[in-house]
């Protein structure tokens, strides 16, 4: 056996490679022996690298923040219980899933730090919650962008196709993440799964942008046709445009900028990229929750709320490509209907 001790001043990221170089490469013959090696890397009392040791505390703090966010969101839902939609329950489930994921991730890192390996029971729970969290995130963003349950209760064919595409892709992305997280870089097909994860994740991010763009285009067309609800439509249009910018910035930061930052950071500050990723997610969740919180005057789902107007209104549910699918007549107060009869 042999060992390497890094003294003060020799800190760094070390990589160990095994090579077998034949004397005549053109006549290479596969080796007829097996090489088994047990490698133990330890930094003081922890089996984690220097750049990963702070992640235990980071994920505990992030988990506490998500717990506070879930408690606040539930309080808001209870206070505005008369204005709730199904998407609000889905958003609450997403924040709770983020809290559980952060807590389980910190526990997983604790076992790696103290024992040098993950505890299988906690690791399985972490992977399950990670899968649920990913599904809830993309489904919630897609449904908000589609306006489902707020401004319409029927999804178009294109919107259903987006959901039918995002859900299985997220399952594939999470399977790829689990394989990457539980294997070494030198494992067979490690690079292939990593490329697949990046491609599928970016594909899902691109897919959820389309419903937002369709909603913006529909609202722009509605401003040209509508006369009595122009101000309301313009407020909805402004809200969707801000949400579109918010989603694009979030995707750019978490999928591109932070991955580049992880490469250029010194080895002892690798944890900073994960910390900034979680902080970006918290800010994104906070702004999205504030913009689409369940209150009466929210322009996102305030379709028709004019008590002084006794005329009938016509509301169209529009498919993703801007084509009108159906029309629904919303009548005035019940007393007016009795008079008409």
Concatenate the DSSP letters of all residues of 313-334 into one string.
Answer: EEEEEE-TTS-EEEEEEEP--H
- Find the mean pLDDT for residues 65-79: 95
Residue with tokens 């913009």: 291
Q: Which pLDDT score, from 0 to 100, does residue 80 have?
A: 87
Mean pLDDT of 283-305: 73
Least confident of 108-117, 248-257, 291-300: 291-300
Q: How far apart are alpha carbons 182 and 112 in whole angstroms? A: 12
Backbone CA torsion sign across 111, 130, 54, 192? positive
Q: Which helix (H) or strand (E) holds 61?
A: helix 55-79
> Which distant-in-sequence residues (6+ apart) come within 8 Å of 91 by Cβ?
73, 140, 288, 289, 292
Q: 27 with 71: CB under 8 angstroms?
A: no
CA dihedral 260, 263, 267, 269 (to 10 degrees): 0
- Residues with Cβ < 8 Å from 171, sequence gap 6 or more? 131, 135
**Residues 187, 275, 58, 266, Cα dihedral to 10°:** 60
Maximum separation of any 2 CA atoms in the chain, in Å: 100
**142 touches 208 (CB < 8 A):** yes
Of 97-101, 159-163, 308-312, the poorest mean pLDDT is in 308-312
CB of 289 closer than 8 Å to CB of 75: no
What the block records as the tokens of 113 is 């730090």
Using the structure block, give the residue that is written with the tokens 């990589």: 15
335 pLDDT higher than 60: no
d(CA 266, CA 298): 45
Measured CA distances, 159 to 86, 127, 316 (Å)? 17, 28, 16
pLDDT of residue 96: 97
pTM of this structure: 0.78
Is 27 a residue whose pLDDT tops 70?
no
Looking at residue 160, what is its pLDDT?
A: 86
CB 284 within 8 A of CB 208: no
Residue whose tokens read 């609202």:
219
pLDDT of residue 309: 39
- β-pair type (313-318, 324-330): antiparallel
d(CA 151, CA 143): 11
Distance CA 281, CA 278 (A): 5
Condensed to tens digits (0 to 9), the pLDDT of residues 227-253 reads 656 666 677 778 888 888 999 999 999
The more confident residue out of 219 and 256 is 256
Give pLDDT, residue 77.
92
Q: Is the dihedral of CA 257, 130, 91, 157 positive or negative?
A: positive
Compute the distance between CA of residue 129 and CA of residue 100 in angstroms, rounded to an integer: 7
Query: What share of residues in the chain are helix, strand, coil (percent, to 5)?
Result: 65, 5, 30
Angle between helices 230-252 and 120-146 (to 10 degrees): 150
CA distance 335 to 320: 37
Looking at residues 194-221, what average pLDDT do you find? Answer: 86
The tokens for 17 are 């490679």
């Amino acid at each position: 056996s042999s060992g390497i001790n890094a003294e003060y001043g020799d800190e760094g990221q070390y990589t160990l490679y095994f090579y077998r170089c034949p004397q005549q490469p053109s006549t290479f013959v596969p080796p007829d022996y097996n090489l088994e090696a047990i490698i133990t890397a330890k930094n003081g009392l922890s089996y984690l690298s220097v750049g990963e040791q702070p992640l235990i505390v980071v994920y505990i703090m992030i988990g506490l923040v998500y717990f506070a966010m879930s408690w606040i969101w539930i309080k808001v839902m209870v206070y505005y219980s008369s204005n709730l939609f199904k998407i609000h329950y889905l958003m609450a489930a997403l924040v709770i899933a983020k809290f559980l994921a952060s807590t389980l991730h910190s526990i997983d890192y604790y076992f790696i730090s103290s024992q040098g390996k993950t505890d299988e029971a906690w690791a399985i729970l972490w992977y399950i919650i990670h899968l649920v969290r990913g599904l809830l995130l993309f489904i919630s963003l897609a449904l908000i962008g589609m306006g489902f349950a707020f401004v319409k209760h029927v999804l178009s064919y294109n919107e259903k196709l987006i959901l039918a595409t995002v859900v299985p892709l997220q399952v594939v992305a999470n399977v790829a993440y689990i394989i990457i997280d539980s294997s070494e870089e030198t494992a067979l097909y490690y690079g292939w799964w990593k490329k697949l994860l990046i491609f599928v994740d970016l594909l899902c991010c691109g897919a959820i942008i389309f419903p937002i763009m369709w909603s913006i285009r529909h609202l722009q067309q509605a401003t040209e046709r509508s006369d009595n609800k122009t101000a309301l439509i313009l407020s909805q249009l402004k809200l969707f445009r801000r949400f579109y910018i918010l989603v694009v910035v979030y995707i750019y930061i978490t999928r591109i900028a932070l991955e580049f930052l992880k490469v250029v950071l010194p080895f002892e500050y690798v944890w900073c990229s994960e910390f900034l990723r979680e902080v970006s997610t918290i800010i994104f969740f906070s702004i999205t929750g504030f913009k689409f919180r369940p209150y009466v005057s929210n322009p996102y789902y305030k379709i028709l709320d004019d008590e002084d107007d006794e005329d009938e209104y016509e509301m169209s549910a529009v498919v993703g490509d801007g084509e009108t699918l159906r029309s629904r007549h919303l009548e005035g107060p019940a007393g007016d209907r009795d008079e008409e009869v």
